[in-house]
Amino acid sequence: MHDSDTRQRFLHPEFRLPLAIFDLDHTLLDGDTDYLWHSHLCDQGVIDRATFEQRYHEQNTAYDGGTLDPGEYVEALVDALNHLSTPRLRELLTSFTRDVVPHRIAPAALDLLQHHRQRGDYLLVITATVDFLARCSISALPIDDFIATEVEWDSDRPTGILSGTASFREGKVVRLEQWLAQRDHNLAQSWFYSDSINDLPMLELVDNPVTVNADSPLQSIAAARNWPQLTIRC
């Protein structure tokens, strides 16, 4: 579905609640959830730092270039956890949520969310990060709901198999369409905040695109189109 078709479908009068939509990593979170999580695993002696840094560099290069394979990303992320017992995995997720994430939330990010809360907007995060890690970061934020890349689970453990469409690049628009189709919200007067050129399809979809800590390609586009540009750092 084209962006214009999506907007027309969800501007129907019955959808009345305005949306303020946010990317997560390098936008509301000062840092990347995946990097922070794996760095935490290194600190806890779970994985080797040199091996992780090399893998992350390769994946980040692919992400910046828009060529990241979400299925391979999910598989590699979960593969690093397969040797852990379920209680140990839960313990690490808890300590990550408690000890790492709060230090990466800038006061200005909370102020921005509060601004939209006072406007009466519905606060939604949409992120390419896998759901069980995104939940850790979002727990520190006053968010109403979130959309993340979903993985299949076997009992109480992630399998490493991608579930549905990854919320990456155009996939974010697809996932948002699916989300909107089941809820009483619209895209009229909607906002979207992001740092990455990968989110250009989402930025072009909303009435109010805003960049935050934008990468160089996105900075250039924002300047040419007179989009507001913010910097939010801890």
Out of 5, 25, 34, 79, pick the active-site residue: 25
Domain topology for 3-230: Rossmann fold (3.40.50)
The predicted pLDDT at position 152 comes to 92
Q: How far apart are CA 179 and CA 158, in angstroms?
A: 23
Which residue, 144, 133, 190, 139, is CA-closest to 167?
Answer: 133
Most confident range (mean pLDDT) of 48-52, 82-86, 179-183, 196-200 is: 196-200
Picking from 10-19, 33-42, 158-167, 214-223, which range would have the lowest pLDDT averaged per residue? Answer: 10-19
25 is catalytic: yes
Q: Between these two residues, 93 and 64, which has the higher pLDDT value?
A: 93
pTM, 2 dp: 0.90
Q: How far apart are CA 231 and CA 211, in angstroms?
A: 8
156 is catalytic: no
The predicted pLDDT at position 1 comes to 42
Question: Of all helices (H) and strands (E), which one includes residue 131?
Answer: helix 131-138
Out of 23, 34, 131, 195, pick the active-site residue: 23
Helix axes 70-79, 49-64, angle to 10 degrees: 170
Confidence of residue 3 (pLDDT cuts 50, 70, 90): low
Contact (Cβ atoms closer than 8 angstroms) between residue 27 and residue 198: no
Q: Which tens digit of pLDDT belongs to each residue from 140-197?
A: 999 999 999 999 988 888 988 999 999 999 999 999 999 999 987 889 999 999 999 9
